[in-house]
Amino acid sequence: MDKSPALLRVHDLQAWYGQSHVLHGVSLEVGRGEIVSVLGRNGAGRSTLLKALMGQVRSTGDIDFEGRPLAGLPTYTIAQRGIGYVPESRDVFPALTVQQNLLLGRKRGPAAAEGWREDEVLALFPALERRYKVAAGALSGGEQQMLALGRSLMGNPVLLLIDEPTEGLSPQMVEQVAHCLELLRQRQVAVLLIEQKQALALEMSQRVYVMGRGEMVFEGAPVQLAAAPALQQEWLAL
């Protein structure tokens, strides 16, 4: 398949919560500037995959980013290497204002001259601009999700791991997230996306993985998945 050279290479990733073995040898690649989605039913292990990449759950396996190993490094160092992470949990500092949250995002990622400017991030998410001086804890859930995404851009990531960015958002905000993904693509920021809205994920992605019970069960182009109804029925239908 035609794709850019791998930016992220994961091989035989296993992960556990206590005694519970959740990832059973996951392998995947993300090319430089590539948007890749991981689809699956609830509980398939997609969020755990992102957490394992960020060093937040007990795991084994090889993880190489820009040709250097990542496994075993602390989350802070992984972020400094250029990987941004937007978890499902609306990860903002509630007592700090929108502005302060965005500025903290700048400190999380690698220092670089060509980072996202604050005004560019605010232009993407007008609700944040309107509430610039408001404490993040007073924002709606959807606005907090926008802020978490905006803050991760401020860290100037090379690769963004995004977990269900559109969950619970209004249609207008979903459009803003889609526009954000489009800009990431244009700027050659790679994305590993978990997205429950399958049509959106397929539209935005160059490649798709499907996960089932802690393993990858499909890898291919969105059109290949669309042409595989039996596979969709087995691993994606509710």
Ligand X SMILES: Nc1ncnc2c1ncn2[C@@H]1O[C@H](COP(=O)(O)OP(=O)(O)OP(=O)(O)O)[C@@H](O)[C@H]1O
For ligand X, the closer of residues 57 and 178 by Cβ is: 57
Using the rule CB under 6 A, is 82 a contact of ligand X? Answer: no
Using the rule CB under 6 A, is 48 a contact of ligand X? Answer: yes
For ligand X, the closer of residues 13 and 127 by Cβ is: 13
Using the rule CB under 6 A, is 109 a contact of ligand X? Answer: no
Question: Are the beta carbons of 144 and 169 closer than 8 angstroms?
Answer: no
Q: Which amino acid is at 29?
A: E
User: Contacting ligand X (CB under 6 A), which of 37, 47, 144, 206?
Assistant: 47
User: Contacting ligand X (CB under 6 A), which of 28, 30, 35, 46?
Assistant: 46
Instruction: Tell me how far, at minimum, the Cβ of 197 lies from ligand X, in Å.
Output: 13
Using the rule CB under 6 A, is 22 a contact of ligand X? Answer: yes
Using the rule CB under 6 A, is 25 a contact of ligand X? Answer: no
User: Contacting ligand X (CB under 6 A), which of 20, 113, 133, 171?
Assistant: 20
Cβ-based burial of 22 (10 A; exposed 0-12, middle 13-18, buried ≥19): buried
Using the rule CB under 6 A, is 45 a contact of ligand X? Answer: yes
Contacts 24+ apart (CB under 8 A), 62-70: 62/9, 62/10, 62/11, 62/12, 62/13, 63/8, 63/9, 63/10, 63/11, 63/13, 64/6, 64/8, 64/9, 64/10, 65/7, 65/8, 65/9, 65/159, 66/7, 66/158
Instruction: Tell me how far, at minimum, the Cβ of 56 lies from ligand X, in Å.
Output: 10
Report the half-sphere exposure of 228 (CA within 13 A, side-chain side): 17
**Which residues of the chain form contacts with ligand X (CB under 6 A)?**
17, 20, 22, 40, 42-48
